[in-house]
Amino acid sequence: MLTAALLRAGARVQALEPDTRLAARLRRACPGAVVVEAGALSAPWPDEPFRVVANLPFAHATEICRALLSDPLVQLRAAHMIVEWDAALKRTRLWPSTILGVLWGAWYELTVVRRIAPAAFAPTPRVAAALFRAERRAEPLVHVRHAAAYEAFLRGAYRSGSPPPCARALAPELGIDPRSDPRDVDARAWAALWQETSASPRTVRRMSRRRRKR
């Protein structure tokens, strides 16, 4: 259904289908598409700008989104993906934040476009779904060359339960409670903490000393 609709809209389509029988059926039904017999976790992403339109298997949605959205060097422009309702809410909410929502939010605007009732599917699932959209930011909150270091920064903070000391020292200057749990800090605030603590260590030390004097 998705492949045929995309072709009618004039898109150049590369369709992923791991099942050999269904891939053959798709080639017959949609001869204008390039059908790749592979799953989303094994096929390489295109080496040119691309968009994703997908109805993801709920059991593997987080893995696929992680592979697609965590590396900003992947040339994804936007993704419109049907995922489980609760999963979409978890990644798009401002509070409490999640490490993946914060990380992906550095490169993409994450939104829930709509809720889809179970009755819209055949066979009918036990839970509702959502259309989850990830749209590439015109200006990333964190430069792509710092992606690995930024992820390590976030994972360290979420693992320890608090931002590193240098970030806590700067938090009041950025309008953030230094006693905040990592889940209390959203994607924009985390990016601001990272920018201040990583880009200018001298400034961090100077501001830390100033706060101690107060």
Burial 47-69 (b: 16+ CB within 10 A, else e): eeeeebbbbbebeebbebbeebb
Q: How many domains does the chain have?
A: 2
CA distance 53 to 21: 22
Give one DSSP letter per residue of the chain, joined into a string: -HHHHHHHTT---EEE---HHHHHHHHHH-TTSEEE-S-TTTSPPPSS-EEEEEE--GGGHHHHHHHHHS-TTS-EEEEEEEEEHHHHHHHH-SSS--HHHHHHHTTEEEEEEEEE-GGGSSSPPSS-EEEEEEEE-SS-SS-GGGHHHHHHHHHHHHHHTS--HHHHHHGGGGT--TT--GGGS-HHHHHHHHHHHHH-HHHHHHHHHHHHH-
Residue at 26 is within a domain: no
pLDDT digits (tens, 9 = 90+) for 73-96: 999 999 999 999 999 999 999 999
Interval 179-189: pLDDT, tens:
889 999 999 99
Q: Return the pLDDT at 171.
A: 86
Residue 65 sits in a domain of what CATH number? Answer: 3.40.50.150
pLDDT reported for residue 168: 83
Q: Is 12 inside any structural domain?
A: no
- Is residue 24 predicted with pLDDT exceeding 50? yes
Same domain, 44 and 99: yes
132 and 150 belong to one structural domain: no
Look at residue 29 and tell me if it is in a domain: no
Of the listed ranges 31-35, 170-174, 201-205, the least confidently predicted one is 201-205
Last residue of a domain, one of 136, 163, 183: 136
What global pTM score does this model have? Answer: 0.88
Of the ranges 17-31, 119-133, 192-206, which one carries the lowest mean pLDDT score? 192-206
Do 162 and 197 belong together in one domain? yes
- Which pLDDT tens digit goes with each residue over 112-159? 999 999 999 999 999 999 999 999 999 999 999 999 999 999 999 999
Residue whose structure tokens are 């920018």: 195
In a domain, 169, yes or no: yes
Q: Does the CA dihedral 161-164-167-172 come out positive or negative?
A: positive
For residues 46 and 44, give the distance between their C-alpha atoms in angstroms, rounded to a whole number: 6
Same domain, 46 and 127: yes
State whether 148 and 86 are in the same domain.
no
Whether residue 130 is found in the same domain as residue 153: no
Q: Which of 92, 117, 136 is the last residue of a domain?
A: 136
Query: Does residue 13 fall inside a structural domain?
Result: no
**Same domain, residue pair 99 and 154:** no
Q: Are residues 102 and 179 in the same domain?
A: no
> Would you say 158 and 99 are in contact if contact means Cβ atoms under 8 Å apart?
yes
Is residue 8, in this structure, part of any structural domain at all? no
127 and 199 together in one domain: no
Q: Which domain holds residue 149?
A: 144-213
pLDDT over 90 (residue 178): no
Q: Is residue 2 part of a domain?
A: no
Task: Tell me the pLDDT of the chain averaged across its residues.
Answer: 91
90 closest CA partner among 55, 123, 126, 65: 65
114 forms bridges with which residues in the sheet? 131
